[in-house]
Structure 1
Amino acid sequence: MPGYSVVLGMYAFGLEEDGHYAQAEDTGRNALTLEPLDCWAHHAVALEMVDASALLWRLHLCNVDVGDRWKELAQVWRNHADGKTYPFNDWHAAMGFLGAGLDSELNALVMRMQQSAADSPCAEWIDRIGLPLVQGCTAFWHGNDGKAVELLLPVRHFCGVFGGSHAQRDIIDLTLIEAANRGGAQDIHQSLVNERLAQRPYSRMTAGFLSPGQSSA
């Protein structure tokens, strides 16, 4: 039946959200057998890895030592980030590769994304959002704060179209605020902090951003 893989993928996600992990994985993999590019099935089977990347990235922004956790996570991402199916996942895989220092894996992922930007069903997402996010976070990780601001600032306005929750996409603004702070772009930093203060007045991370020139920690 046309579209049945999508139904299975959405069902798998619901099972995962309710804590039925084994059944969710089986259902998601059945969906992928029918349609390897089913984004819902990918999302259901891989949701924990995305959250792990986002959590470790937030801790990095707060200068928390996470030990070897990046390396463990990056090894798992190596089997899931294909650079053509779902750029939201690829972005989180890139975080893992950056944290683990796997430059070769990151470069290979970027190359696959660049190739897929021409012919993948997700080509527009990859080109307009996925690649700028990966490249912006890479610039930030390596201390090129000006480049990070340049790449991330435009993306934040339309990143909602490629999936994820508000909390997951919030990584973009958190990274952008810190990059603007470190890079001396105080007008951008203060503008983003004021916006965030209005939206999340009780966030501890928001409070940490209030002093220009200081780390969010």
Structure 2
Amino acid sequence: MAQIDCFGQPTTIGSVAGLEAWNATQMAFMAHGAATPDHLAATLAADPDFALAHAVKGMFLLLLGRRELVPTAREAADHARTAAVRIPVSAREAAFIDALHLWLDGAPSKAVASLDQVQLAAPDDALAMKIGHALRFVLGDAQGMRRAVEQVLPAYGDDHPARGYLMGCHAFALEETGEYGLAAAAGSAALALSPDDAWGLHAVAHVYDMIGEPQKGLRWLNGKEAAWSHCNNFRYHVWWHKALMHLDIGETETVLHLYDTLIRADQTDDYRDISNATSLLMRLELDGIDVGHRWDELAETSAARTDDGSLIFADLHYLLALIGGRREVAAATLVARIAADGARGASEMDMRMASPGAAAARALEAFGEGEYRAAFAGLSKARRHMQLAGGSHAQRDVFERLTIDAGLRAGRLTDTLAILNDRTARRAGRDDQFARTRRAMIADCAAPLRVPAE
């Protein structure tokens, strides 16, 4: 007999203890809680034949973007199929299992479609919503994130325990599709309903980044540390946002302190942590700030990840670390492997290795070697498709900054100004400190070319 979980969904879990652990797993996952894997382990310990938990375990592993975890994800998929034979599962649970296999087969977009089918039948299924949102984020599908959330919003009443988390997802999707005012309102409402909703809180931080209001962003984050202190490594990302705000107002000592004590205090090799660190150090260096030896450990860690190939977003940030740490051989190895994966074209991720990956990788390598014309040409080509690398506008902005600075250094002032203007247009028409500084540089460079008035 099916038991009803905390979101009102029938499940084939076999024990009360297992259901309690499963509910704890789901609630922790909604909040990006560090305890999520512990609750999931307790679920499977209580009910080893709970097929849905095995499938979700596999998807959690794939979201980590690490090649060495793929075999373990395949084991989870096999366990899910075997368990579903022992204890017949619902169509809903079968769709999760199918989604995992599709993802493992190199078709994450089809995996998302399988989860969408779950939500068509049960629009209040918060687990399908949140996993689908996470996977669309990896795929860079901002419009899909928004569409999927807005289709199910009416099904989440005020008493639905995941309503706050859904609104946090809505806030992020609104921000990524340029609706900054609506995003800020949705994120604030999300946090009011679910005070541990770090995703909704961070969506509002994104808004202040995009509209160039760092002081307001700091006021939003200050005092709300409890909303992200319980998180897994996502907490480092929220501190990263805070550092970006301090950087935009010129408080570089504070930025470096946050980097050393919070953002990179745990020197993990998780690609999300690497991306936080490398993109922040690169922003600092582009602004002329000496970051000392901080590149060294990032380069050492990234040199061990050159053969990963799970996500182009991860690979490009590993490459930034290798460039910053002057690891030319490892950088060349990584660039060659990205090109080879792109040429293979066996999966959706391979296609992203081809575009925007290959052009962006070669261009970043050229930037590190001081070949700014080639860097600007390659980055300009890649930027048209950079959304496909996944991540957020704020995360991908490091590549925009590198493109603009490559253009400046190559003397491509007119083309650089056009990119700068396009960047500003997508940021609510407002210049941040980076843009203001580069506009001044362009004006200074162009001044000697003007004909004096007679």
Higher relative contact order (CA 8 A, sep 6+): 1
- From 391, 409, 417, the equivalent of 1:190 is 417
Contact kept in structure 1, 2:357 and 2:382, CA below 8 Å: no
TM-score of the superposed pair, with normalisation by structure 1: 0.79
- Match for residue 94 of structure 1 among 316, 319, 323: 319
Query: Take 1:168 and 1:149, find their aligned partners in 2: how far apart are those partners?
Result: 19
Shift of 1:16: 10
AA matched with 1:178: D
Looking at structure 1, the residues matched to 433 and 318 of structure 2 have their Cα atoms a distance apart, in angstroms, of 26
2:12 corresponds to: none
Aligned 8 A contact 2:338 2:361 in 1: no
Shift, 1:99, TM fit: 0.8
Aligned to 2:123: none
One-letter amino acid of the counterpart of residue 131, structure 1: A
Whole-Å separation in 2 of the counterparts to 1:214 and 1:85? 43
Q: Using the TM superposition, give the Cα deviation of residue 67 of structure 1 relative to its aligned residue in structure 2, in angstroms.
A: 0.8
Q: Between 96-105 and 81-90, report the one with greater CA deviation.
A: 81-90
Q: Which deviates more from structure 2 when the two are superposed, residues 173-182 or residues 74-83?
A: 74-83
Of 154, 158, 162 in structure 1, the residue corresponding to residue 385 of structure 2 is: 158
Deviation, structure 1 residue 154:
1.8
Q: Which moves more between the two structures, 109-118 or 87-96?
A: 109-118
Q: Which residue of 2 aligns with 1:34?
A: 73
User: Structure 1: any 5+ residue segments left out of the alignment?
Assistant: 1-10
User: Quick one: distance in 2 between partners of 1:30 and 1:188?
Assistant: 39
Map 1:4-23 → 2, pairs under 5 A:
15=29, 18=32, 20=34, 23=37
Q: 1:142 aligns with which of 369, 389, 397?
A: 369
Corresponding residue for 1:47? Answer: 272
* Offset, 1:62: 0.8
Give the stretch that moved more between structures: 57-66 or 79-88: 79-88
CA contact (8 A) 2:307 2:334 kept: yes
Computed over aligned residues only, the root mean square deviation of the Cα atoms, in angstroms, reads 3.2
Q: Which moved more, 1:171-180 or 1:77-86?
A: 77-86
Matched AA of 2:352: W
Q: Report the alpha carbon displacement of residue 21 of structure 1 after superposing the two structures with TM.
A: 7.5
Alignment correspondent of 1:210: 439
Q: CA deviation at 1:126?
A: 0.9
Which residue matches 1:179?
A: 406
- TM-score, reference length from structure 2: 0.40
What's the offset of the Cα at 1:164? Answer: 1.1
Instruction: State the identity %.
Output: 24
Encode CA deviations 1:163-184: one digit per residue, 9 max, x unaligned.
1111111112111111111111
Displacement of 1:75 in angstroms is 1.5
Residue 284 of structure 2 aligns to a residue in which SS? helix
Q: Work out whether 1:68 is the aligned partner of 2:107.
A: no
Deviations 1:141-180 (Å, cap 9, x if unpaired)?
A: 2221111111111211121122111111111211111111
Per the alignment, do residues 71 and 21 of structure 1 end up closer, same or farther by CA in structure 2, a change over 3 Å counting? farther
Residue 355 of structure 2 contacts residue 385 of structure 2 at CA under 8 Å; is this kept in 1? no
SS in 1 for 2:289: coil
Q: Post-superposition shift, 1:23?
A: 4.2
Deviation at 1:116, TM superposition (A): 1.9
Q: Which amino acid aligns with 2:350?
A: A
Q: Which 4+ runs in 1 deviate beyond 6 A?
A: 36-41
Counterpart in 1 of 2:340? 115
Partner Cα distance (1:16, 1:99) in 2: 35
In the TM superposition, residue 59 of structure 1 has moved relative to its aligned partner by 1.0
Evaluate the alpha carbon distance shift between residue 63 and residue 86 of structure 1 in structure 2; reply closer, same or farther with a 3 A threshold: same
The number of residues matched between the two structures is 202
Structure 2, gaps ≥5 residues long = 1-24, 42-56, 64-68, 76-102, 109-133, 139-232, 234-269, 446-454
TM-superposed CA distance for 1:125, in Å, is 0.9
Q: Alpha carbons of 1:195 and 1:71: their partners in 2 closer, same or farther (altered >3 Å)?
A: same
Distance 1:99 1:160, change over 3 A: same
